[in-house]
Amino acid sequence: MRKLFLVILLVVAAFSVGAVSAQMTDLESVDPTGATVVYWHQFSGAQLEAMTSLVETFNSTNEYGITVEAIAQGNYNDIRNLMNAGITSGELPNIVAGFANDAASYLRDGATVDLTPFIESAMWGMDEEALADFRADLLPFNTLPTGEVVAFPHQTSAQVFAYNQTLLSELGFDAPARSIEEFEAQACAAAEYTGMNGEDVQGFPITTDTSMFESFVASQGGQIFDGEAYTFTSDEVVASFELYKRLYDDGCGYIPAERFAEQADFARGLTPFFGTSTAGFTFVTQAFVDSGYEADWSVTTFPHAEGAETIQVFVPSIILAGGTPEEQVASWLFLKSLVTPEASALWSSSTGYFGSSRAGQMTLTDETPFGAPQIYPYFTSASDILANPDVALYSGPSIVAQGTVRGLISEAIANVTSNGMSVEDAVAALQAGADQALADSM
């Protein structure tokens, strides 16, 4: 069975018992007719086009005459700055893009609304059919330890292990590594290999990306936060830092020359594997087109300990920031419209992100116009992994301190590799810094 955090049991139980809180009872009498919803988002390009289409469809078809005003506000950092300024001035949107740790911060300042009553509402909530179709297994990653569902997951992506089977075959391997030991052997073999055209192949590209590091930790059965405290001194975290250090010190791993250089190296046949988000498939396939290099490549889960096969999910979501009861209900109805099968399929085919409707994902085929170059086979491989009940889901901590701690993890990765620090010293500094960040956030 898929291993999920205990909180999903609480979420499912809440759906099952049908208890109606006082807030839910108040919701039943709210009339959202004619309400206007202000939505701050981060989309551009194809994502902006898709969201504009979804907003226009909702505005023209909802029976209450609700109008959503979607406003692009730059990237996530820009939005966080605007939200923090708005919390001070009182000028806030009704819904806003963000992750669960953003929502946790806004909740601390009274600028986030718990979505549980809306999901459960007899009048406005999700019925049994909609709940069965909805990716409710994503809700735990938007649920705080205190039980509030603080963001709605209308899309997701995942951290996968991209591998070049053509190159691995040249190195004498029939398949990508499934264990850490096999992975190290493949990385070291690659680092000693000269390609057919005389190019120097490299081992595993080590970046300071915290998500990739967390994927290695989770794939060894660990996590960096236990629900109450950061756990950087745990065996699984220490083992992951030791892996990075061995790869670097033994010449089986390398530091990419610049940001995203590992993607270009992979698409030129200069490394047999790298970690990537599924949201980057369009860039990877385009890099192969640009390089002219042809290879049989695909994606799988990270090398893992026995019984710990895991995939990390990223859940960029939408946060209900408040407003009048009428605006809140109107906002919720818009959020609910984004996870219908039709909306989910449109979103995936337009953006390469997974939607939150299972039925919507099933309508996608190799005829779906994902755009050029084609990402369908890689999208499908990753989707199959997400649907595999034997693969655990993992996501980073949904707490305010996580933004600061991510920077500390990146620093620790640099320390154990290019800076030559011992794992023991790097971990001790990281744990102390994380403890302080957590204390400061509280």
173-177 LR contacts (CB < 8 Å, sep 24+): 176/273, 176/300, 177/303
Q: Scan for tokens 């909740």, then name that residue.
A: 107
From 379, 381, 363, select the one nearest 371 (Cα to Cα): 379
What is this structure's pTM?
0.86
Of 364 and 124, the one with more pLDDT: 124
Is the pLDDT reported for residue 11 higher than 60?
no
Dihedral (Cα; 202, 178, 386, 118), 10-degree rounding: -90
> What gap in Å lies between CA 246 and CA 364, rounded to an integer?
42
User: Measured between alpha carbons, how far is 5 from 137 in angstroms, rounded to an integer?
Assistant: 10
Region 319-336: mean pLDDT is: 96
Q: How far apart are CA 176 and CA 56, in angstroms?
A: 45
Mean pLDDT, the chain, whole residue set: 90
More confident site: 249 or 196: 249
- pLDDT computed for residue 372 by the predictor: 56
- Given a contact cutoff of 8 angstroms between Cβ atoms, the answer to whether 221 and 423 are in contact is no
Distance CA 194, CA 203 (A): 12
Residue 418 and residue 424: Cα distance in Å, rounded? 16
Reduced DSSP (H G I as helix, E B as strand, rest coil) percent helix, strand, coil of the chain, to 5:
50, 15, 40
Q: Report the CATH fold assignment for 7-153+315-364.
A: D-Maltodextrin-Binding Protein; domain 2 (3.40.190)
Asked if the model's pLDDT at residue 398 lies above 90, the reply is no
**Could you state, in order of their start, the residue ranges of all structural domains in the chain?**
7-153+315-364, 158-312+395-441
Average pLDDT over residues 234-245: 98
Distances (CA, A) of 217 to 235, 243, 380, 413: 9, 10, 25, 13
Distance of CA 425 to the CA centre of its chain: 30
pLDDT band at residue 400 under the 50/70/90 scheme: confident
Residue 14, pLDDT above cutoff 70: no
The pLDDT of residue 5 is: 37
Copy the structure tokens of residue 154.
């209308």
Average pLDDT over every residue of 390-398 = 93
Residue 441 pLDDT: 87
Q: What is the pLDDT of residues 38-62, one digit of tens each?
A: 999 999 998 999 999 999 999 999 9
pLDDT of residue 373: 67
**CATH T-level topology, domain 158-312+395-441:** D-Maltodextrin-Binding Protein; domain 2 (3.40.190)
4 pLDDT more than 70 = no
pLDDT band at 173 (very low <50, low <70, confident <90, very high): very high
Asked if the domains at 7-153+315-364 and 158-312+395-441 fall in one CATH topology, the answer is: yes
